[in-house]
Amino acid sequence: MNQNLSAVPIRPSEITPKDVYFSRRDFIKTAGVAAGSLALASCAPQALPDSPASENPPATDAGFTDELGDPATPYNDITNYNNFYEFSTDKEAVAPLSAGFTTSPWTVEVYGLVNKPKTYGMEDLLAKFTQEERVYRLRCVEAWSMVIPWTGFTLASLLKEVEPTSDAKYVRFETVHRPDEMKGQNSPFYVWPYQEGLRLDEALNDLTLLATGLYGEPMPKQDGAPIRLVVPWKYGFKSIKSIVKIELVREQPNTLWNTAAPNEYGFYSNVNPDVPHPRWSQATERRIGEFNRRPTLPFNGYAEQVASLYQGMDLKANY
């Protein structure tokens, strides 16, 4: 499995543990992972060679827990059971098929309705924005879930720097388009490249992360190296991988899933046990590694932080 990892030998420039996301005790338990990150915290990023394999991938949950006390899903499961249609629709085939994906050099263009458009190299992003560790639940629309310890920085910190204009109402994200490397992009069933979108206030919410790693390791290719979105209160498909473009726009953007099947996948896609998918219930979920199903929580358990964003909206109509 090691050879499937994109290991960028840079640690986040700074780790800011947040008690609200997990406890310091958990950090200490992750000594081999997080302490390694801290030890390198002062190193300025040098270069980003592509895909040397991780020598020591974390074996177990490494002591990470989310704020509900749920342990992190084992690293092995997070990196071998993936949705990444650019490589395959078979979740277990994504890791081997993404092994040769080129993730360096990499740039992210931030543009559109902003005062200061800018194209960032990955090195700039890692050096410039405060990296945090956050353990989030990821609830897939297919009714399985994982708990993932991400490393990343808030999308808000990046957006503040480019200064959205008052006309900007939504943020549109785009995955790299490279059909030679990503054979799934030759499939006629979807409109490529993968696109996603958030309303600007959702994008600015403190939970919304641009993730550059997990388990204290650089982002594995199969999980969206080198940089992906994580929006923990929405179904997993909103969390777009391998981002190269972030555009501030006036109108609600089209998304790959909303275009492919509008009656099944809405723009908002907030986790909602009361709104079934047309073909299955969303009331319960199976945590990867567990046998019994558990009830799905409204907004995936993050209602306190985000329910106010949707006050007055009919969340059954706006699914």
Q: Which stretch binds ligand MTE (CB under 6 A): 32-40, 99-107, 231-239, 306-314?
A: 231-239
Cβ-proximal residue to ligand MTE, closest one: 236
Q: Which stretch binds ligand MTE (CB under 6 A): 79-87, 115-123, 264-272, 289-297?
A: 79-87
Q: In terms of DSSP H, where are the helices of 115-190?
A: 122-128, 155-162
Q: In terms of DSSP H, where are the helices of 59-194?
A: 75-78, 94-97, 122-128, 155-162
Per DSSP, the three-state class of 150 is: strand
106 interacts with ligand MTE by CB under 6 A: no
240 interacts with ligand MTE by CB under 6 A: yes
The one among 82, 98, 269, 300 contacting ligand MTE by CB under 6 A: 82
Across the strands, what pairs with 285? 294
135 interacts with ligand MTE by CB under 6 A: no
Nearest CA-CA partner of 231 in 255, 263, 249, 251: 255
Nearer to ligand MTE, 112 or 193 (CB): 193
Nearer to ligand MTE, 95 or 204 (CB): 95
- Are 87 and 94 contacting, i.e. CB atoms less than 8 angstroms apart? yes
Indicate the DSSP class of residue 65. Answer: B
The one among 239, 255, 270, 300 contacting ligand MTE by CB under 6 A: 239
Nearer to ligand MTE, 120 or 194 (CB): 194
CA–CA distance from 155 to each of 97, 173, 204, 215 (Å)?
29, 12, 7, 20
Question: CA 175 to CA 22: how far, in whole Å?
Answer: 30
Half-sphere CA count of 92, side-chain side, radius 13 A: 0
236 interacts with ligand MTE by CB under 6 A: yes
The one among 6, 175, 269, 270 contacting ligand MTE by CB under 6 A: 175
Smallest gap from residue 241 Cβ to ligand MTE (A)? 4
Residues forming the site for ligand MTE (CB under 6 A): 82-86, 138, 140, 175, 194, 223-224, 236-237, 239-242
